[in-house]
């Protein structure tokens, strides 16, 4: 990455920060109204206003990134998407830039992307309140040791998260889940002894938790594969600064089988094996797709 890539990337980051500082007060005003008017009709209407503000924020960020990165995009598979559908979105995870790429391709093409967040993140200054206002589901996962000490905690994490997701029944939603759970790098790949050439092992439990918590609302999977240029630095600054001149994005829409949101991943070994096999097959196909594109 050259000096000029770093300069352009830094200018883009500054622009995104300024965009955030300008739009956040508007977002917070409508978030305050959500607290004042707790009845369902107001909550749904205000949620749509808040999503419009967030999509405007993303649109401006996309414009900033386009100016500084001048990336050439090869995007396939976005033709038949619908803003009135519920989607589970997953993607191979390589860099924080993945989130900006996903926001670029999905903004106003599918329902606004939301992430399951750890409960502690609601305390993050500015962003925590913004995530709450935008109905990002916060979850608290209990460890096996915590449950062993207090059996009453068993199932509480799913129950709490499912309650947070109840409002998604009122309007279409897209939920993002990186199945790998962390960003790819050579050290993690080696320590896992990953059977895939370009991917880490998927953590099927997170996907099962998401589908179960959403109570069957997620019927379609958008399986996104991002391919950056070989040898290009994998960083947010590199992406914004133009060190990734070409980015390929392949979107494959799949139907989520009904059984995938109905089982108990933690307690049912037969369901767990079946779910892991389903995710493993997706990952086999994704790894083969990346390998074929890298040879071109």
- The answer to whether residue 141 scores a pLDDT higher than 80 is no
For residue 212, what pLDDT band results from cuts at 50, 70 and 90?
A: confident
* Domains of the chain as residue ranges with CATH: 72-294 (3.40.1130)
For residue 210, what pLDDT band results from cuts at 50, 70 and 90?
A: confident
Residue 168 has what DSSP assignment? G
Res 63: pLDDT: 97
More confident position, 152 or 221: 221
Res 267: pLDDT: 85
Res 115: pLDDT: 85
Q: What average pLDDT does the segment 254-259 reach?
A: 94
The pTM of the full predicted model, rounded to 2 decimals, is 0.90
For residue 150, what pLDDT band results from cuts at 50, 70 and 90?
A: confident
- The answer to whether residue 156 scores a pLDDT higher than 90 is no
More confident position, 190 or 137: 190
DSSP 11-80: HHHHHHHHHHHHHHHHHHHHHHHHHH--SHHHHHHHHHHHHHHHHHHHHHHHHHHHHHH--EEEEES-TT
* Parallel/antiparallel/unpaired status of strands 220-227 and 113-115: unpaired
Out of 40-54, 137-151, 242-256, least confident range: 137-151
Res 12: pLDDT: 96
Res 213: pLDDT: 80
More confident position, 234 or 290: 290
Q: What average pLDDT does the segment 244-252 reach?
A: 95
Res 61: pLDDT: 97
* Distance in angstroms (rounded) separating the CA atoms of residues 221 and 3: 40
Res 113: pLDDT: 93
* Distance in angstroms (rounded) separating the CA atoms of residues 16 and 10: 10
- The answer to whether residue 144 scores a pLDDT higher than 90 is no
Q: Confirm if 243 and 232 have CB atoms less than 8 A apart.
A: yes
Res 104: pLDDT: 96
pLDDT, tens digit, 9 for 90 and up, residues 10-56: 999 999 999 999 999 999 999 999 889 988 888 889 989 999 999 99
Q: What is the mean pLDDT of the chain?
A: 90
Query: Residue 39 burial (CB < 10 Å; 0-12/13-18/19+)?
Result: exposed
* Distance in angstroms (rounded) separating the CA atoms of residues 161 and 166: 9
């Amino acid at each position: 990455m050259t000096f000029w890539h770093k300069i352009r990337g830094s200018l883009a980051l500054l622009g995104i920060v300024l965009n955030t500082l300008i739009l956040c007060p508007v977002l917070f005003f409508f978030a305050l109204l959500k607290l004042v008017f707790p009845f369902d009709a107001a909550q749904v209407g205000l949620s749509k206003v808040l999503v419009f503000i967030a999509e405007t924020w993303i649109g401006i960020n996309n414009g900033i990134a386009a100016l500084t990165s001048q990336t050439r995009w090869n995007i396939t598979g976005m033709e038949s998407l619908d803003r009135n559908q519920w989607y589970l979105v997953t993607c191979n995870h390589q860099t924080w830039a993945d989130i900006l790429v996903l926001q670029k391709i999905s903004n106003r093409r599918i329902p606004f992307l939301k992430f399951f967040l750890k409960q502690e993140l609601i305390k993050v200054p500015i962003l925590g309140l913004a995530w709450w206002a935008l109905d990002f589901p916060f979850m608290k996962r209990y460890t096996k040791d915590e449950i062993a000490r207090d059996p009453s905690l068993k199932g509480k994490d799913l129950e709490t998260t499912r309650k947070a997701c109840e409002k998604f029944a009122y309007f279409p939603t897209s939920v993002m889940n990186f199945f790998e759970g962390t960003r790819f790098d050579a050290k993690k790949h080696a320590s896992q002894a990953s059977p895939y050439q370009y991917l880490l092992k998927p953590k099927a439990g997170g996907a099962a938790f998401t589908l179960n918590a959403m109570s069957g609302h997620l019927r379609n999977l958008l399986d996104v594969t991002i391919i950056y240029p070989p040898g290009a630095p994998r960083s947010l600054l590199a992406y914004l600064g133009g060190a990734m001149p070409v980015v390929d994005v392949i979107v494959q829409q799949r139907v989520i089988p009904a059984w995938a949101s109905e089982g108990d991943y933690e307690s049912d070994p037969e369901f767990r094996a079946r779910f892991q096999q389903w995710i493993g097959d997706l990952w086999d196909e994704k790894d083969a797709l990346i390998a074929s594109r890298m040879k071109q």
